[in-house]
Amino acid sequence: MMRSELLTITLFNGKHTEGRIVEFTQHAAREWNLEHKIVRFGSDNAVNMKKAFDTVLEIEHELLEIDIDEGEDELEPIDEMILSDARISIFEYLSDTNLNSLTSKLRAAGLLPLWGRCVCLIQLSVHDFIQKQLRSHGSVNKFIIKATQFVNCSRKSIQCGEIFLKYKFTLGAMNQTRWDSMYKMLKSILDAETKGCLKFLPSLKYLIPKNYELAILREVVDVLEPIHLFTLEFESSLGTSGIEIPGLEAL
């Protein structure tokens, strides 16, 4: 049975905007009666994820009703500065799967007013069979905690995109923003840099990323590595080189 405060997730296919992500998230919240719960959803595009998260917060912060053990609190309007600071801070608590513990942590951190539909990302799937596989997977909790850290890394991922454009990396790699594809691309760049042959890559014939740019790429690779390993293991368990979800309509 799916835990209501941990509604996991749909896999978005193809191009999508922050508006469509917000629309789907709100629809899912209504369907599962989760208007006042944390809703986790998956997107393969960090830029759209961040836009959607910001949009949801803008919608939600005007009027939030919060269900907690002691009853409902009346909330004063949330200051924009607090809201901005909490956009990243709140994600530190999303790996806690115990609702009471999470509520206590949010209250202690002064983030309780944001206990509405807070958008998080983990690229998993909503299909029942895949969820069953994930629940039986020994390291899935560690994977979820590690994947949640990618939210904190979304700004670095956006910076990666800017670096891609600056150094004219291949269009194919730019289009393939799924995490595993991004990991493979970044890993190949950093491996070439380690071997001292970065300057021989076609896209870097005239320019080589600066040290601080390479540091950004390394940070994203570190966060993406467990997702890459999980993808390999999961695909192997299904006997396929890719994950297909029967009956899931692409957005």
* Angle between the N-to-C axes of helices 140-152 and 211-238, in degrees from 0 to 180, rounded to the nearest 10: 150
CA angle 85, 90, 96 (to 5 degrees): 165
Q: Check whether 77 has a pLDDT greater than 50.
A: no
Q: Is the pTM of this model over 0.75?
A: no
More confident residue, 105 or 117: 105
Chain segment 173-188, per-residue pLDDT in tens: 333 345 666 677 677 7
Q: Check whether 189 has a pLDDT greater than 70.
A: yes
Using a pLDDT cut of 70, give the percent of the chain over it: 10
Buried b (16+ CB within 10 A) or exposed e, 81-113: eebeebeebbbebbbbeebeebbbbbbeeebbb
At 40 the pLDDT is 44
Beta bridge partners, 40, equal 8, 120
Chain segment 123-178, per-residue pLDDT in tens: 222 223 334 444 554 444 443 444 444 434 444 555 555 665 566 554 343 333 45
d(C-alpha 151, C-alpha 153), whole Å: 5
d(C-alpha 209, C-alpha 192), whole Å: 12
3-state SS assignment for residue 119: strand
The most confident of the ranges 87-101, 137-151, 153-167, 223-237 is: 223-237
Q: What is the mean pLDDT of residues 7-18?
A: 43
* Angle between the N-to-C axes of helices 154-166 and 211-238, in degrees from 0 to 180, rounded to the nearest 10: 110
Chain segment 44-69, per-residue pLDDT in tens: 444 555 555 455 444 443 333 333 33
- Beta strand 7-8 with 71-73 is unpaired
Q: What Rg, from alpha-carbon coordinates, does the chain have?
A: 19
Q: What is the mean pLDDT of the chain?
A: 48
Beta bridge partners, 73, equal 66
| Reported confidence tier of residue 222, pLDDT bands at 50, 70, 90 | confident
Beta bridge partners, 120, equal 40
Phi–psi pair at 72, nearest 5 degrees: -90, 135
- Reading the block at residue 186, the tokens are 């970044």
Q: Check whether 107 has a pLDDT greater than 50.
A: yes
Q: What is the mean pLDDT of residues 22-49?
A: 52
Q: In angstroms, how far is CA 42 from the centroid of its own chain?
A: 6
- Burial of residue 163 (CB within 10 Å: 0-12, 13-18, 19+) is middle
More confident residue, 119 or 95: 95
Q: Check whether 70 has a pLDDT greater than 60.
A: no
